[in-house]
Structure 1
Amino acid sequence: MARFPEEYDDCERILAPDGSYDAEAVAALDLTDEELRGMYGSMIQARALEERGLTLQRQGEFHFWMECRGLEASHVGPAAALSDRDWMNTEWRQYGAQIQRGRPLEDILLFWLRGYEEWAADSIAEMEPYERRMPHIVAVGTQLPQTAGLMWGRKLQGKDEVGLVSVGDGGASKGDFHAGLNFAGALELPVVFLLLNNQWAISTPVERQTAADTYADRAAGYGFEGTLVDGNDVLATYRATKRAVEAARAGEPHLLEVLTYRRGAHSSSDADDYRENVDIEAWRERDPIDRYETFLEDRGLLGPDDFESIREAAEERAREAAESALEIAETQSPEEVFDEVFANPPDYVDDQREELLDLVDRHGEAAFRW
């Protein structure tokens, strides 16, 4: 059975599942109306992009797609709490976080079409906020020690920057989790570890992954604090991350567990027949977008007509971005898969390249689309 935030006395929350809220806590956030509406726009855009990507995968345009339905608040809130100079290394399903940081939709989709990423900036100083990240790495958990290492380097250079790195509950079972947190704690690095507890590591439920009551409890073993937050409350995730970032900037790492639920499948390759519908329905009633809409309407910031127009615009942007990304992918040669890997490719890589080019000559580039 799934766990719910209301089962924990120490789980932080501002917005209840029904949209009611703590007015004093909202005021203390010191967020402008524009910022509050902006987070909503990012959440809606993330859901629209997720739906478009899944549709394209079903149509054979994408080989693979990661689902994020129901996780939007746990992605957008933390991203909104960072300054432009901070770093954010996301999981690959965190579309909302990337959107909140300003990453173009086309750029997000091209990663899934090509399998690699590009940076427009020639130096760190010239980077846009969304470019302050490391490349997505398929190996689960490796981003944790890598982010700790990155921020150690930035600290040694005297930079006033914080690195926020995300990992799922499954990734917390990897040795890299221990390595990353231990390294950050020992060297007092400016890192916030965002543990996205969506309660399933593909088909393994959280109770089979750990005997701990919460993942946040693990932080004490590394010499710093941990916090448990309602992951479907975008304001609570923002507040907790903001506080954690301030602590990290002062040399105190933080483990932030956001308790949420992956309502969709793990990925487009997942049969998803291992879960109980009762859990999915219970979490659908706790939908992060629904509760935030109730809040925004109560505050007079947006209304039903606004919600509809924002959704329609988000769907159109997702459609246009997908069309553009597919057009760009069509112009690329299959042999580009070998680029940007080795500075001096070994002989066996050159042999593989020649073998691929021979196959392209025989079957045409259309047979080797990204």
Structure 2
Amino acid sequence: MIYDAKFFDEVFERRGHDATKWDYPLFVKDNKDIVPMWVADMDFRTPDCIVDAMAKRLEHHAFGYFKIPQAYFDGIAKWQKERYGVDGVTADQVDYQNGVLGGVSSFVEAYSLPGDWILLNDTCYTGFQSTIANRGRNIVYSPVKETADGWALDIEDMEKKIIEKKPPIMIFCNPHNPTGHVWSKEEMIAVVELCDKYGMLICSDEIWADFQTGGHKHVPLHTCCPRAKEIVFSMYAPSKTFNLAGLQGSYSVCWNPAMKARVAKAAVASHYNAANVLSVHAAIGAYNGDEGAQYVDAMNAYIRESQIWLKKELETNIPGLRIHLPDATYLLWVNFEDYCKQKGCEFQEVLDKVTAKGVIPNDGRTFHGATHLRLNLACPRSQVEECAKRMIEALA
């Protein structure tokens, strides 16, 4: 299969196929005449290498209890080495996780108690907020600062919050959702050294690792310095990279055997973490050959063109917007703060006008972005263009 612009330009009909994004949109009563730019899945076809791997497994008409095959761990090792430069990953470092948030939840259960505080950077992914709350823990937030060029951590504020609330763990997002920022190695070392200074452990959500649309090479937190391997538990998922969320399935990498065993024990205790046989074979198809990597490289290039185009189109036609081009992810984090000041309107009016035109974004307030919309650009260019057209009609 050739993965070029023509492949990603295909308008792939998803209505009527159980797609949350299309069949159950936010803010509107039905799915007619909508441009869904919200929930973080993609409107691209899954690459053939994955579908073929599942089809081959389906030829054997038995789906009972099974042992994860070595090819699964070999594929992860190959991907970690070739995509992130991490050598030496084996089954001894890897555990299957039935979803990144499931792994986060198990980590929270393993290393904190109900009522404890857990450190997050803010703005932050909604799933972290709900997972921590559902476990009966509290969240202490340290802001992600907006700069002229993008975003930065406030290490001084993080230390202040750690001293005040004494959190045993931190949930880190690398690359960052929703801003799409890629943290520098120096920033990551500062985070590791700070947490280590106060005896804290870190769960690093790296689900966006493969979406390096700005040309960066992903640097896993657990590789940023020698000490990181001892205190960092990292989460990855083919489900985000290849749009397999309906299959579930992610994995963790942990170099500390005691930490790996403790989190695994927490996961097993709830009986949630049994692997799905098709999910495992989908990952084998994604990681073991060369086609999966070719797909990802072509997809990142395609999405980057959409990010650049939409940023320019919106800023040119809707005065007052602030958009930092993301380093990673397939998102665009759009700030209407200045627009609302100029128009003398509330942010809710912006959201209402946009959704009245059928454009369905994520309300940035759920991520603690008071005047933001989060747009998902993992879709054909024609859909991005229609999004721009309708937003400009609504707001220009």
Indicate the TM-score class for this superposition, using the shorter chain for normalisation. 0.3 to 0.5
Q: Which structure is higher in helix share?
A: 1
| Larger relative strand fraction | 2
TM-score, normalised relative to structure 2: 0.34
